[in-house]
Amino acid sequence: MDEDVYKGVNDTDPEQRGTPVGRRVFLGTLGLGALGVLAAPKLQSGLEGLLGGAADQDPTGLTGLLPNGGGFRYYSVASSVPRKNADTYRLKVDGLVDHPTTYTLADLKALPQTRMVRDVQCVTGWRVPDTPFEGVRLSRLLDAAGVRPTARAIRFTCFDGTYTESLTLRQARRADVLVALRMQDKDLGHSHGGPVRLYVAPMYFYKSAKWLSGITVTDEVRPGYWEERGYDVDAWVGRSNGRDDEPTS
């Protein structure tokens, strides 16, 4: 584990600047990194055996670590994930809002799209430089829904039925947080969380929930799937990884 991780924990968050660096947070990240390295070769060889090396399929086992084109690895905590398309996909925005809304894929495509090119960084060590993502700013969907004054956070749910994520409301309103429809200038494929995934550019990739189906505005942060298992809730990647930590981009 290199020192990028350490730098990334605290020095880039505009909300946290000036607060002491959480040593517990650093140690937690280190511990998981080591675990990932130990677990990876075993899992990967198991999956390659099962799939005969095919890269763009659902692994039938647990978390997948197959190379998935351009340096990506396939991750899913669910053993199988239903496929959704333009007819069947729905995204629900609800919770502490004045106007709960359900979007179809066409609805999302009709909204203004934002394209960003950043490095993707997984907490287990792999990185994919200069990856374009494109989609609707989350802040736009929140504004449309009318967030109530008591709201503090967002909970994200997925149609894999298992994965969850969280952001504070302030993080969620950043200009570099997208409800993404495209990655690498292509429509998001199933294995990368298509048709729609969250994309949280300034944070480790586990924040970018795949197969996004629900955006629920809540009164407090509810830690997501990996966060309940030890990952940092605030998952900032540092400047050292080529990120821009400014709230506008």
Ligand X SMILES: Nc1nc2c(c(=O)[nH]1)N[C@H]1C(S)=C(S)[C@@H](COP(=O)(O)O)O[C@H]1N2
Residues that bind ligand X (CB under 6 A): 68, 72-77, 122, 158, 160, 163, 192-193, 205-206, 208-211
Parallel, antiparallel, or unpaired: how do β-strands 91-95 and 212-218 relate?
Answer: parallel
Shortest distance, position 4 Cβ to ligand X, whole Å = 16
C-alpha distances (whole Å) from 205 to each of 12, 74, 100, 145, 200 are 16, 12, 27, 26, 7
Q: Which two tokens stand for residue 21?
A: 């660096």
Give 72 or 103: the residue with its C-beta nearer to ligand X: 72
| Least distance (Å) between residue 73 CB and Mo ion | 8
Contact flags string 187-226 toward Mo ion, x per CB under 5 A: ------------------xx--------------------
- Cβ proximity to ligand X: between 91 and 209 the closer is 209
Supply 54's token pair: 């095919």
The whole-angstrom separation of Cα 214 and Cα 217 is: 10
Nearer to ligand X, 122 or 151 (CB): 122
- Which one, of 155, 146, 154, 145, lies nearest residue 101 by Cα? 145
Told to check if 122 binds Mo ion by CB under 5 A, we report yes
Q: Say how many CA atoms lie within 13 Å of 26 toward its Cβ.
A: 14
Q: Which parts of this chain interact with Mo ion (CB under 5 A)?
A: 122, 205-206
